[in-house]
Chains A and B, each alone.
Chain A
Amino acid sequence: MLRRTLMTTAAAAGIALSLGGGAMAAGPMDNVKACFVYVGPIGDGGWTYQHHQGALDVKEAFGDKVEIQWQESVPEGADAERVLTQMALGGCNIIFTTSFGYMDATNAVAAKFPNVMFEHATGFKRDSANVSTYNARFYEGRAIEGLIAGRMTKSNKIGYIGSFPIPEVVMGINSYFHHARQVNPDVELTVVWAYTWFDPAKEADAAKAMIEQGVDVIASHTDSTAPLAEAAKSNGAVIGFGQASDMAEYKPSPRVTSIIDNWGPYYVKRVGALLEGTYEQVDAWEGIAGGEVLIGEITDAVPADVKAEAEAMRDAIAAGTYHPFTGPINKQDGSPWLAEGETAPDGDLLGMGFYIEGITGDIPQ
């Protein structure tokens, strides 16, 4: 066993040495090759599409100084490790891995290529100094969706299509429900787990099932437009939200607003820092204030007073005067989580494995 370990380590060292030469010193660089690994096709219209827009922003910001390369539809797992190694061998200076599932592959490859910078989206592992992580505070956007949902629902039944029961999604569900309840004490939430990030057929089924149960506002944590397409069949009775990208083709209804992932500013900042020689390892988690989360246009399908209320909340979050998780908030079982006026610490959010009071049903275990 020990022998096997030693030999693998030797192989790793071999690759690191063969690279050698240290293209990446601490100082400024004339040119940077920035590479992006995508989990879906660029044409998904959601998650990957938005990351690619960020990549194009980098190209536009720095022109000839930056070369961008990308690869679509890279499976999370063993294949990711190979793609990352190929990119690092191929001379990429900074590699953005844009899905949670690339976490182990990113850290494994980063350990072998200390001179290449790695940026992992939505992860939490930074095993070596050249791995940074970044994420966006999507729960801030969920707060605004929740407020609109609470005000707009006629049946008092709102729904949420969950992708996977992970903290990121549970956080969104809690924020959505909390803000709906605040403006409408009678509101009830239905959660359907799709167990996918992108599967139009499954997402449509989930939306259909909820609509049949009388749900008339649907938020989704999956990436396709299928839930909006289902809602569109209701002749205006059911509304929803754009997810990851604006999904403007469903304006003004059923899409009444949207959460837009805007990675451009972060990508430009990081590649810029590399060019200037000011690059440092970070754990970035920006939201509406930092411009990473954009709230799409609130359409006229929403009454003017609700729209004004939603925009006021957006501005308060941007100004830092309002935190979507401000106490008093109890956990589902009634035990206290946040006291009056207390705001949620980031650690609680990043490991969130519980529903807040008022949500029925359990998080699948």
Chain B
Amino acid sequence: MLRLEKRPNPSRFWLYATPILAVFLTMVAGGLLFAMLGKNPIAVIKTIFWDPLFGEFAFYLRGQLLVKAGPLILIAIGLSLGFRAGIWNIGAEGQYIMGAICGAGVGLAFYPTESRLIFPAMILAGALGGCAWAMIPAILKTRFNTNEILVSLMLVYVADTILAKASTGFLRNPEGAGFPGSRSFSVSSFPAASNPELIAGTGLHWGGVFALAMGVAAYILLQRHILGFQIKLAGQAPRAARFHGVKPERLILLCMGLSGALAGLAGMFEVTGPAGKISIDFNVGYGFTAIIVAFLGRLNPLGIVLAGFIMALTYVGGEMAATNLGLPSAAIQVFQGMLLFFLLGVDVLTNFRIRAAIPGVS
């Protein structure tokens, strides 16, 4: 029989080894799934993990990885700060939508003015929009002790409805013949508010720049700043944190506000860049996927950057597998879900040691 024995301290080795093990186990279990669907598992795994990087069309797909990873990283970094402090913002998807609507709204208010100030103003509006949306569960928690998990999640559906309203109503393109969707933010139609690729073929737009910069900033915050210390302390030892003078209310407002602002930024960069306009189906679940990315990256900013790329790989490669190998899209989603499942599963190795239990000895 096997027995779990608590480690006196979390294992540093397993802290970094578990994500790799989880990816490996996902490949094995996913391979089994693909085999049961009648596909060659090696071919599918290769299509997902190898082809986007080194395959025939890598020149195009490599850039797409960054397009996909950018918003995931940006949102996940914000979430990870809260998660570390034990503050569970599950509603990043809603904050992402509100950031996009506010950012786009400010831009459209100036249409068709051309000024260098418009884009920075939109960035600010996007961050504030996401931040304000996250403040609702934060203030409700600090004032009335409501559960931020539920409130932030429920607000996603409210944001969804506002998005539908925006694209069919108050932000609708007046020249769009009554069809839903805002004016386009493409370079050709509204250059001042556009967020195009900065270097051709790389997929890098301002969102990617912010994502990478925030990764570094969050790393410095956690390692060098007193606030980072407080966040970590509040998560690991809430009582000790209180004695240390950490005000939980302040920390909740800060972490929720920061994660909301980053999610809002991600939405704003997406709507002005890759998505190109506010539409009914603008959001595609980055806010939820970012939760997986945050944990896959060990809630460590640099880990999250890496995890964002791995997740993007499963998206881009998964699409290729779906099209070229005829795999149902649900199989790809199961594959992505397995990643979080195995990660949480093998996480036990960080805090516990597996011992062979000898009968009679306890």
Q: Which residues of A lie under 8 Å from residue B328 when comparing CB positions? A: 41-42, 72
Sorting the interface of chain A by its residue count into under 10, 10 to 19, 20 to 34 or 35 or more gives: 35 or more
State the Cβ distance, B116 to closest chain A Cβ, in Å. 9
Q: Which residues of B lie under 8 Å from residue A351 when comparing CB positions? A: 177-178
Encode B90-120 as 1/0 by CB contact (under 8 A) with A. Answer: 0000000000000000000000000000000
In the complex, whether B148 has a CB less than 8 A from a CB of chain A is no
Q: Is the interface of B mostly helix, strand, loop or mixed?
A: loop
Complex contact B60–A89 (CB within 8 A)? yes
State the Cβ distance, B327 to closest chain A Cβ, in Å. 9
Encode B308-346 as 1/0 by CB contact (under 8 A) with A. Answer: 000000001001101110101110000000000000000
Q: Point out the residue from A7, A71, A82, A166 that lies within 8 Å of B316, measured CB to CB.
A: A82
Also in contact, A353 and B178, with CB within 8 A (given A1-B191, A85-B60, A164-B168): yes
Complex contact B319–A71 (CB within 8 A)? yes
Within 8 A of A (CB), among B148-199: 161, 164-165, 168-170, 177-180, 184, 187-188, 191-192, 196-199
Tell me how many residues of B have a C-beta within 8 Å of chain A: 49
Tell me the bound Cα distance from A104 to B276 in angstroms.
9
Complex contact B168–A165 (CB within 8 A)? yes
Q: Point out the residue from B165, B201, B281, B326 that lies within 8 Å of A76, measured CB to CB.
A: B281
In the complex, whether B53 has a CB less than 8 A from a CB of chain A is no
In the complex, whether B81 has a CB less than 8 A from a CB of chain A is no
Complex contact A75–B281 (CB within 8 A)? yes
Chain A minimum-CB-distance residue to B200: A11
Within 8 A of B (CB), among A68-101: 69-79, 81-83, 85-87, 89-90, 100-101
Complex contact B198–A4 (CB within 8 A)? yes
Chain B minimum-CB-distance residue to A85: B60
Tell me the bound Cα distance from A93 to B276 in angstroms.
26
Tell me the bound Cα distance from A195 to B320 in angstroms.
30
Also in contact, A164 and B177, with CB within 8 A (given A70-B323, A73-B329): no
Q: Which residues of A lie under 8 Å from residue B178 when comparing CB positions? A: 166-167, 170, 351-353
Complex contact A79–B284 (CB within 8 A)? yes
Q: Can you give 15 contacting A-B residue pairs, CB < 8 Å?
A: A1-B191, A8-B187, A10-B200, A11-B200, A35-B323, A69-B326, A72-B328, A74-B319, A76-B279, A83-B323, A86-B320, A101-B281, A195-B164, A195-B280, A351-B178
**B residues neighboring A (CB under 8 Å):** 56-57, 59-61, 64, 67, 161, 164-165, 168-170, 177-180, 184, 187-188, 191-192, 196-201, 270, 273-277, 279-282, 284, 316, 319-320, 322-324, 326, 328-330
**A residues neighboring B (CB under 8 Å):** 1, 4-5, 7-8, 10-11, 14-15, 18, 35, 41-42, 69-79, 81-83, 85-87, 89-90, 100-101, 104, 124, 164-167, 170, 195, 350-353, 364-365
Can you list the 3 inter-chain pairs with the closest CB atoms, starting with the nearest? A78-B274, A11-B200, A195-B164
